[in-house]
Structure 1
C-alpha cells in the first residue's frame, strides 16, 4: 500500500474519530456507574478507576465506512455521523460480549472489560452499549428513511447474533466445511460492515439500488477483513495486534485458515485434525507445529487469496456506483488498510 493511500485512510480514520467521539462520550455519560466506567474503560478513555488515560480504543473502522460511503454518494461525511456512532456502539457491544464468550484476557494491549470489571458487569456493559446504539439513532427514525435505518440495524444485529451462535456451535463440531465457515464469518463480522456502508448511503439520500450495492460492498469487505484478522491471529505480532498470538489455536478454535487446512485432504491437514481432536488448551509445542501444518496444508495461501478475491468483489460494487472521486478514494484506501494489516 502506497504512502499516499495509507495517508488517505489514516485521515479518514482520524475524521471518524473526531466526528463520532463527542457522540459516543455523550451517550456513555448517560449510563450509571460502574457500567459507565466499564464502557469508558473499554473505549480507552480512562483506566479501571476512572482516571483519564489515552489508551487504544479501536480504530473506528465501521464509523469510517459509514462516513466514506456517504461521501462516495455525494454527501458530506458529516451527514452520516449519527449512524456512524450507532454502528460503533453496536460493534463495541459485540466486542465486550465476544471477549467474555471467548475468554480473551487482553485486547488492544490491556485487560479486557470482563477481566477488569467481572463477568456480570461486562454483560450489563455490552447490553448498555446496544441500548445506546438504538437511542443514538432515535432522532433519525421519523418517516420512511428512519424505518430503513432501523431495519438496517436490526437486520445486522440478527445476522450478528446468528454468526456468533454459529461460531460457538462450530467449535464443538468435528467436521466443518469452508462454505459453512464463510457464512458464519459473514454473519458475525461482515454484517455490521455491510450495515455501516448501507447506513452511510441512506444518510446520503441514496436510492434502493445504491443502498443495496453499498451493502454488498461492505459485506465483501467485511469477509476480506475477517480473513486478514484470522491470518493475524496465527502469524501476527502481539506487540502490533494487542492480542496474544496463537490464542485461537490454543482454544482449538476453527478459524478460516484452519478450516481451509482441515478441508485440504492433505497429510498435513490430517495431522492438524489430530491436534484439534484434543481436549483442553493446546500445548505450546503443538501450537508451533499446528502453525506449520496450517501453512503446509495451504490454509494460509487460501486465506490470503480469498481475502483478495473478496476485496475485489467489493471494488466492483463501488465502480458500478459511479462514485464521487474523493469518497471513492477514501473507501479504497480504507479497504487496503483494513486488509493489508501489519504482522
Structure 2
C-alpha cells in the first residue's frame, strides 16, 4: 500500500517534489475513479481540464495540477497522528473544489490558456465548462459523505464555508475590474478569501480526518490561510514575470488583462513617479502593446511592487510556520509541511 509517510529508514524529510509525487500516487486513483462517475458531458470537460484526455476523448498526458491542496490535507492528517490513507476522501474533495473554481475562473476571466493547453471553456464552450465545474463541486460533498468518516459531517460544513468565502473573493475580484480605486488592503482581503480560504480548509479537513479537534484544527487552518496569501503573492509575481514554460500562460498575462494584483496595487499605492507613470499607462482605454506591457512590468518593479510581494510572501510564510509550531504537530510530518510551505512560496523566484 502506498503511504505518504513512506520514507527511507534514515527518516529524512522529503523534498517538496517528493511530497507532491507521493500525494499524486495516493490521491489520483481515487480522483480519477470519482470523476469517471460524472455524466458523460461533465466527464468529457473535467477529464480534458485535468489533462487526462484530449478534446476528442483520447487519453492524454497533460498536467493535472500540482495537487498542492491534496498534499496539505494528507500531511496535516499525519501531523496530528492520523493516516494519509484515511484522509484521501478529504483530499479528493478539496481537489474537486479547486478545479471547480479553476473552470469557473477561466470562463469569468476569459483566459484561453491553462497548463500549456487551451482552457476547457475555449474548447467545449462556456456553458459546458460552468456545468462541469458545478458537477465537480456537488461531487466533492458526495465524496465526504460517502467516506463515512466520523468527521465527515463537520467536514461538509467546513468545505461549504470555504466555498462561500471563495465565491465572495471571486465576486470582489470581478468588482475590482470595474473600479480604479481598489486599495491594496482590499486586494489582500480578496486574495485571503479567494486563495487562503481553500488552503486553510485543506489543512482543517486534514486535521479533522486525522482525528484532531478544537485548537489543533484552528491552528492548522491558520497555517493554511497564511500560506494561501503568501502563495497568492508569489502567484501574482509569476503572472507578471513568470516563465511561460513553467506557468503555462503567456508572458505578462495578468498585465495584459489589466488585473489588479497584489504587486500592481502595491506599486500604485506608492508616492513615486513610477507609480504615476504606471497609473497613466495601465488605465489606458486600449489594449497594451508588447513594448508597453514590458514597460508596465518595469514600472511595477521600479515603484516597489515586486519587492513588496517578495517581502510579504516571506513574512506570511513566517506567520504560517509560527502557527504550525503552535499546533504541536508530529515532528516529521510537521517538518514536511514546513518544507512544502517553503517550496510553494518560493517557486523558483
Scaled by the length of structure 2, what TM-score is found?
0.94
Give yes or no for the alignment of 1:247 onto 2:253.
yes
Is the 8 Å Cα contact of residues 282 and 296 (structure 2) preserved in structure 1? no
| Deviation of the 1:14 alpha carbon | 1.4
2:225 to 219, 222, 237: 219
Q: 2:56: which partner in 1?
A: 49
Q: 1:211-249: per-residue Cα shift (whole Å, max 9, x none)?
A: 000110000000010100000111110011111121111
Q: 2:7: which partner in 1?
A: none
| Deviation of the 1:6 alpha carbon | 9.3
Is the 8 Å Cα contact of residues 252 and 281 (structure 1) preserved in structure 2? no
Alignment: residue pair count: 339
With over 3 angstroms needed to count, the CA separation of the structure-2 counterparts of 1:269 and 1:122, relative to structure 1, is: same
2:321 to 315, 337, 340: 315
Q: 2:6: which partner in 1?
A: none
Give yes or no for the alignment of 1:39 onto 2:42.
no
| Deviation of the 1:32 alpha carbon | 2.0
Q: 2:347: which partner in 1?
A: 341
Is the 8 Å Cα contact of residues 141 and 150 (structure 1) preserved in structure 2? no
- How large is the RMSD of aligned CA atoms in angstroms? 1.6
| Deviation of the 1:36 alpha carbon | 0.8
For 1:140 and 1:202, how far apart are their aligned partners in 2? 13
Q: 1:102: which partner in 2?
A: 109
Is the 8 Å Cα contact of residues 13 and 335 (structure 2) preserved in structure 1? no
Unaligned runs of 5+ in 1: none
Q: 1:283: which partner in 2?
A: 289
For 1:121 and 1:147, how far apart are their aligned partners in 2? 30
| Deviation of the 1:140 alpha carbon | 4.0
Determine helix, strand or coil for the equivalent of 2:29: helix
Scaled by the length of structure 1, what TM-score is found?
0.95
- When structure 1 is superposed on structure 2, of 269-278 and 84-93 the one drifting more is 269-278
Unaligned runs of 5+ in 2: 1-10
For 1:44 and 1:251, how far apart are their aligned partners in 2? 25
Q: 1:174-210: per-residue Cα shift (whole Å, max 9, x none)?
A: 1121111100001001100000000000011112100
With over 3 angstroms needed to count, the CA separation of the structure-2 counterparts of 1:5 and 1:97, relative to structure 1, is: farther
2:144 to 126, 137, 143: 137
Q: 2:168: which partner in 1?
A: 162
